[in-house]
A and B are shown apart, each in its own frame.
Chain A
Amino acid sequence: MSIAIYILVMAGVTYIIRMIPFVFVRKKIKSRFIKSFLKYIPYAVLSAMTIPAIFYSTGNITASAVGTVIAVILAFFNLPLIVVAVCASISAYIALIFISL
């Protein structure tokens, strides 16, 4: 299938998700279940996307695990997103160099 079609569908769905409530919905959501579900879904999505995929993200499980541990520790102490991401990457890089020695 052509990549252009994928991109079109992707962009279309993402736009509609944002546009419909922004343009049409004026009332507040009443359902407590839906409100709760919508609150939890981002965390659930990111968790499932990250684990266990993060362990395969650098092509080497040991290096990825090193990066993951660093990221978890820094995130635990509330460091900014960029700091966590970059330090995970740098530590994985150092681990990759040691592994290839």
Chain B
Amino acid sequence: MKSDFLRGMSHGIPVGLGYLSVSFGFGISAVRSGLSVLEASVISAVNLTSAGQVAGIEVIAQHGTIIAMILSQLTINIRYSLMALSLSQKLDRKFTIPHRLLASYGITDEIFAICSAQSELIVPAYMYGIILISAVGWILGTFLGAYAGQLMPETISSAMGILLYGMFLAIIIPPSRKHKNILCVVIASAVLSIIFRYCITAISSVYAVIICAVVSASIGAVLFPVPDEESA
């Protein structure tokens, strides 16, 4: 039990360090869009997600509706459903309903990737170990970024505004290079997004992202359905 937890924590260290630096960028962006250090840190503590939080602070900054918030989170975070679904197939018997309720908080891209890579069934203590280290990195990074963002010279905090977008590019470009179908979806989505930005300005950027993503992912699903064995 205890060793599972420690093993999880050690597997969580690279994730936690990565989160620390990325969430630093989120903290800066959050403060720049008008949130307090505390609000930014609480958002990171209760969400534990990068793109979803960026979209979330955009809705808050634009004084968007609650519907806009719900839709943006649904579209951007829906991938976690697939990951949760996939993980649910390889849980140990110790994973009772209360454990599942608690651990589902920590299903992120990276934690999912680590858990999926395990050859044995996942026990709760192991997953809690990864989640703990990762969440500490994520929350601490946000706090530091939000706090430092207020003290830093304007030029530095401006330049850091590109951090998260740089990370997003690093997520989408390598698979686009390898798979033409993903490249098509990425380009379609970018082109639609540009059209919304400059031609259909009546629609707020939050809804524009949702529409672009749903349309281009649907086009991808129709034109390039994934083979059956490649699911999840």
Which residues of A come within 8 Å of B, CB atoms? 1, 3, 5-7, 9-11, 13-15, 17-23, 25-26, 28-29, 32-54, 57-60, 63-64, 67-68, 71-72, 74-76, 78-82, 84-90, 92-93, 96-97, 100
Contact = CB atoms under 8 A, between A and B. Distances in A.
A58 B22 contact: no
A93 B159 contact: yes
B162 A89 contact: yes
Contacts of B174: 75-76, 78
Interface of B: 18, 21-22, 25, 35, 39, 42-43, 46-49, 51-56, 59-60, 63, 66, 69-70, 73-85, 87-89, 97, 100-101, 103-105, 107, 109, 155-156, 158-177, 181-182, 185-190, 192-194, 197, 205, 208-209, 212-214, 216-218, 220-222, 224-226, 228, 230-232
A49 B51 contact: yes
Interface of A is mostly: helix
Given A1-B63, A15-B105, A72-B173, A52 B194 contact: yes
Contact of B162 (A78, A81, A92): A92
Contacts of A67: 159, 162, 166
Please list the 7 inter-chain residue pairs (A to B) with the smallest Cβ-Cβ separation, ordered nearest first: A88-B166, A93-B159, A36-B221, A84-B170, A75-B173, A11-B46, A48-B212
Given A43-B176, A75-B169, A75-B174, A9 B69 contact: yes
A75 to B, nearest CB: 4
Given A1-B66, A52-B194, A76-B177, 19 more contacts: A3-B39, A6-B66, A10-B69, A23-B100, A42-B79, A42-B171, A47-B189, A48-B193, A53-B165, A57-B162, A58-B158, A75-B169, A81-B22, A82-B18, A84-B169, A88-B165, A88-B166, A93-B155, A93-B156
